[in-house]
Structure 1
Amino acid sequence: MSTKKASMIVEKDFKVSEVDKRIYGSFVEHLGRAVYGGIYEPDHPEADENGFRKDVIELVKEIDVPLIRYPGGNFVSGYNWEDGVGPKEDRPRRLELAWRTIETNELGTNEFVDWAKLVNAEVNMAVNLGTRGIEEARNLLEYCNHPSGTYYSDLRISHGYKEPHKIKTWCLGNEMDGPWQIGHKTAHEYGRLANETAKVMKLVDPSIELVACGSSHRKMPTFADWEATVLDHTYENVEFISLHQYYGNRSNDVANYLALPLEMDDFIKSVISIADYIKAKKHSKKTINLSFDEWNVWYHSNAADRKIEPWTIAPPQLEDIYNFEDALLVGSMLITLLKHADRVKIACMAQLVNVIAPIMTETGGPAWKQTIFYPYMHASKYGRGVVLNPIVSSPKYDSKDFTDVPVLDTTAVYNEENEELTIFAVNRDLDDRLLLECDIRNFEGYKVVEHIVLENDDLKQVNTATSQAVAPHNNGDATNDNGRVTATLPKLSWNVIRLKK
């Protein structure tokens, strides 16, 4: 094995943006075992008095998830929010058409808000613009956020919730460009509906922030036209446009797989360009930011999901078991989001428990950390502050779909308040370690406190309920000598180099 070299210069004044903590958000949909058997399992030995799994709560708190999107996803486009409030014995069972299961409605809006408080997270609430519209969105907002003295606020109080939930962030539907979506619409149809809904919701509560649906993914035939049309309608009444993207290594080409964040980077830049074009077209002073509210690896479970028996309750859907190479990709996706922290203010890893998730559970059994848990947790814990724009020199490689892929994928976050500097780095090289030399002379008196490494000789290695075969160690060799940090990044590794004054 040989050693390649890379370098970076990190300066306090080369700033991208302050990190909005919501960039480390997640997502819980009424899908598979995300809710029932995931966050909520009343018969479990670890269940609290409300049926919430305490072992899951502890794992979510370990990540420090600040924001959780709910209740969907495709689910929301056929969901009647009224089914999930009030006495549980009165709640109807429904055919859930998005995923063809039975929804018991045992857990709904209030219970989810209760759970989110237990994990110290805010709720990012989605409204149904598939089968429903302005009236239902306005009523749900009144139910959640209005103090008292009206029909829906008093209904909430009668359900045992005197104080309003004060939910700040709201999604105007989900993936409305997708033909698979219940109530699928054209860009003009959706743009008009989203704008009129936004106007009414802001009359109810002017303090909220709204996310309009962007494309379901970049390869949609309507991509770009969709964003431009929707923003043309909604520009002055929303704060965000959404992005969704999932990746998978279907061809078992690791070099190409690990280069996919370059496509994600281009996707983000494209949507920024579209948003700024509409800003110019409208002569607006307002800037639309991005909510990357679905992102992850998703492909392992595709074959199994085709065999799911319809009309069952909480079947094991979308239960991807992640391997080591997936953790590397997730690390690079997080770095990509941070590089765009000036415009990506919200991001939601989809999803949080059991369904394409960093946390897995066994019904009645243990909960455990998937491989992707670790880079997500490290970024959330240590990536708070200001993203810096380092000057990077790295060896490059070409793959099937990409040219000039940097072997070193990296960014740095400076937390001035805590006097901490964190360097996140992925070595994409399949064969060689990378000697990283980092000039941080601008950070006088900073010492290396930890160099965390996630590495494994087996790219396909997974974690299970009984084995954490893929787990980080803090035996990295990073040192700082008079403002020059040197560190060996093992081949195919995720690294977190933490420095403190």
Structure 2
Amino acid sequence: MKCTIHAARQFTRGTVDPRLFGSFVEQLGRAVYGGVYEVDHPASDEEGLRTDVMNLVRELDVPVVRFPGGNYVSNFNWEDSIGPKESRPTRLDLAWKALDPNQFGLQEFMHWARKVGTEPMMVFNLGTRGLAEARELVEYCNHPGGSYLSDLRKQHGSPEPFAIKLWGLGNEMDGPWQVGHKTAEEYGRLACEVAKAVKLFDPSLELVACGSSNVFMPTFPQWEETVLDHAYEVVDYLSLHMYFRNEEKDIATFLACSAGMDSFIETVVHVCDYVKAKKRSKKTMYLCFDEWNVWFHSLQKDKEQKPWIVGPSLLEDVYTFEDALVVGCLLNSLLRHCDRVKIACLAQLVNTIAPIMTETGGPAWRQTIYWPFYYASKYGRGEVLDCRVEVGSYENAQYGTIPYADTLLVHHPDTGEIDMFVVNRHQRQALAIELDLSGFSGSYTLFEHIALEHKDLYAVNDKLHPDEVVPKQISHGDIGSVVEVAPLTWNLLRFHP
């Protein structure tokens, strides 16, 4: 099947903020206990942080990590997680029906973040707590010294401020499952007042207000409008959350689900711009897609977990090759909207719906979805070209007419290189891709083709077979202007002038 892609240097969608390749760590399941933190593991350092996991996180080059939740945060007292470990209380986590011993707390997370080379996105508890606790948390984390809470941080072994710049104003506050669930009016007022207070301390702080928990919420998109009516001028980003599943094993529809992400983003953008116009504001509201992934494999198993233990095996989706194709499409969707989506967090990072899996006391390995994220993070930081694609399409059960090729082009002005991410959705036919770069001066040559392919859609990487699904270098020999990509594959094509 022929696929022609047209691109010009002067037409771009926007420049990618590196924070688009962020992730998420929550005290949920084995994300922390048995994941990033395991005191007795042979690979752990002096702080109990697993070095094998840190190496894989560094390899992904995740610029920002959201912490500590997620649903967990709405019942979290930050004061429980600081100071000497032996004096920290064990609490009940109502969100996930687990015990939280608070051994991996605020300081441990900050040390871990520095070691892996990421910046924190700290989330306030606006469920059971509010303005006073948020103000105090910012003082503890960011004030240099001379106040009670900043001096307390120093006593706890952190003489320099944490200097956290990005803060989330709660989590999924529209959800009835959330501890401390609020109406849009209640949350909008609270978010506005918390934002005003913490910006009195430091107006350069970046704040993320809660949007809808998903596109199927009965209050979507009125929630966004009401919240922004209250907080538009004092927050910097609005959040989006979305997860995807294929319980029906309908590959055609599953591979089209990035169209659902596109529609969600574009609807929220329209609401933001409506509120901007209504307020006659000069400010543009940007988006933070701080939870996204495939999630459905573990749903039945999660119902069987014993409650009130530390580190239960929850949300441990074992990802297939099919899931990796879908994650590649979702990454393309985020990149296509880089003009408005500035931050995104793959949920989550380790063990719970994650690209990295571990065995408690054992090894760590890369899941199938690790690979499209790795290459997007490595080669997706540049200018996204506003390309036009000529290719055949198909119908599916949910998203209408969908092109067989999901394509995204990133131009790197410093080197002149162009990287193309393409998922071939066709189940039988290869795509013969012709790249029309007549809008660029000079000619371009393909110098690298990396593909993720497997004969079994349900192939997985596990402890015994960690490299079952891995990227491969594809050799084309002497080729002309057409490059062929196989059916049901994710591909990275790299061109230089």
Q: TM-score, normalised by structure 1?
A: 0.97
| Alpha-carbon distance, 1:337 to partner | 0.3
| Alpha-carbon distance, 1:479 to partner | 6.9
Superimposed CA distance per residue, residues 133-180 of structure 1 (whole angstroms, 9 cap, x where no aligned partner): 000001111111111111111111111111111111100000000000
Mapping of residues 192-203 of structure 1, within 5 Å? 192-203=189-200
Q: Distance in 2 between matches of 1:386 and 1:327?
A: 24
Q: Distance in 1 between matches of 2:191 and 2:441?
A: 47
Matched with 1:466 is 464
Matched with 1:366 is 363
Q: Distance in 1 between matches of 2:117 and 2:51?
A: 14
| Alpha-carbon distance, 1:444 to partner | 2.5
| Alpha-carbon distance, 1:500 to partner | 2.7
| 1:239 equivalent in alignment to 2:240 | no
| 1:477 equivalent in alignment to 2:476 | yes
Matched with 1:266 is 263
The residue type equivalent to 1:123 in the other structure is P
Q: Distance in 1 between matches of 2:108 and 2:483?
A: 47
Matched with 1:420 is 417
| 1:439 equivalent in alignment to 2:436 | yes
Aligned residues of 1:414 and 1:422 also touching (Cα < 8 A): yes
Superimposed CA distance per residue, residues 56-86 of structure 1 (whole angstroms, 9 cap, x where no aligned partner): 1111111111100000000000000000010
Q: Secondary structure at the match of 2:211?
A: coil
Out of 89, 105, 121, the residue aligned to residue 124 of structure 1 is: 121
| Alpha-carbon distance, 1:443 to partner | 5.2
| Alpha-carbon distance, 1:361 to partner | 0.2
| Alpha-carbon distance, 1:17 to partner | 0.7
| Alpha-carbon distance, 1:448 to partner | 2.2
Out of 168, 178, 184, the residue aligned to residue 171 of structure 1 is: 168
| Alpha-carbon distance, 1:499 to partner | 1.9
May I ask how many residue pairs the two structures share in their alignment?
Answer: 495
State which drifts further: 105-114 or 352-361.
105-114
Change (3 A) 1:144 1:427: same
The residue type equivalent to 1:495 in the other structure is N
Matched with 2:447 is 449
Change (3 A) 1:174 1:443: farther
Q: Distance in 2 between matches of 1:396 and 1:116?
A: 43
What is the percentage of aligned positions where both structures have the same residue?
54
Q: Distance in 1 between matches of 2:483 and 2:340?
A: 31
The residue type equivalent to 2:489 in the other structure is S
| Alpha-carbon distance, 1:265 to partner | 0.3
The residue type equivalent to 2:476 in the other structure is D
State which drifts further: 49-58 or 270-279.
49-58
Superimposed CA distance per residue, residues 228-278 of structure 1 (whole angstroms, 9 cap, x where no aligned partner): 000101000000000000000011100011111111101000000000000
Matched with 1:29 is 26
| Alpha-carbon distance, 1:439 to partner | 1.3
Mapping of residues 296-307 of structure 1, within 5 Å? 296-307=293-304
Matched with 1:494 is 490
Q: Distance in 2 between matches of 1:439 and 1:285?
A: 37
Q: Distance in 2 between matches of 1:408 and 1:446?
A: 21
Runs of 4+ in 1 over 2 A off after TM superposition: 443-449, 476-481
| 1:81 equivalent in alignment to 2:78 | yes
| Alpha-carbon distance, 1:480 to partner | 6.7
Aligned residues of 1:453 and 1:473 also touching (Cα < 8 A): yes
| Alpha-carbon distance, 1:450 to partner | 1.1
Mapping of residues 17-96 of structure 1, within 5 Å? 17-96=14-93
The residue type equivalent to 1:121 in the other structure is T
In structure 1, the gaps of 5 or more residues are none
The residue type equivalent to 1:408 in the other structure is A
In structure 2, the gaps of 5 or more residues are none
Q: Distance in 2 between matches of 1:415 and 1:52?
A: 35
Q: Secondary structure at the match of 1:10?
A: strand
Q: Secondary structure at the match of 2:23?
A: strand
Q: Distance in 2 between matches of 1:246 and 1:479?
A: 42
| Alpha-carbon distance, 1:478 to partner | 8.6
Matched with 1:319 is 316
Out of 165, 177, 182, the residue aligned to residue 180 of structure 1 is: 177
| 1:408 equivalent in alignment to 2:405 | yes
Q: Distance in 2 between matches of 1:63 and 1:325?
A: 21
Q: Secondary structure at the match of 1:242?
A: strand
| 1:160 equivalent in alignment to 2:149 | no
The residue type equivalent to 1:30 in the other structure is Q
Q: Distance in 2 between matches of 1:123 and 1:420?
A: 31
Q: Distance in 1 between matches of 2:464 and 2:7?
A: 41
Change (3 A) 1:319 1:9: same
Alignment RMSD (CA, Å): 1.1
Q: TM-score, normalised by structure 2?
A: 0.98
Out of 200, 203, 207, the residue aligned to residue 206 of structure 1 is: 203
Q: Distance in 2 between matches of 1:444 and 1:360?
A: 45
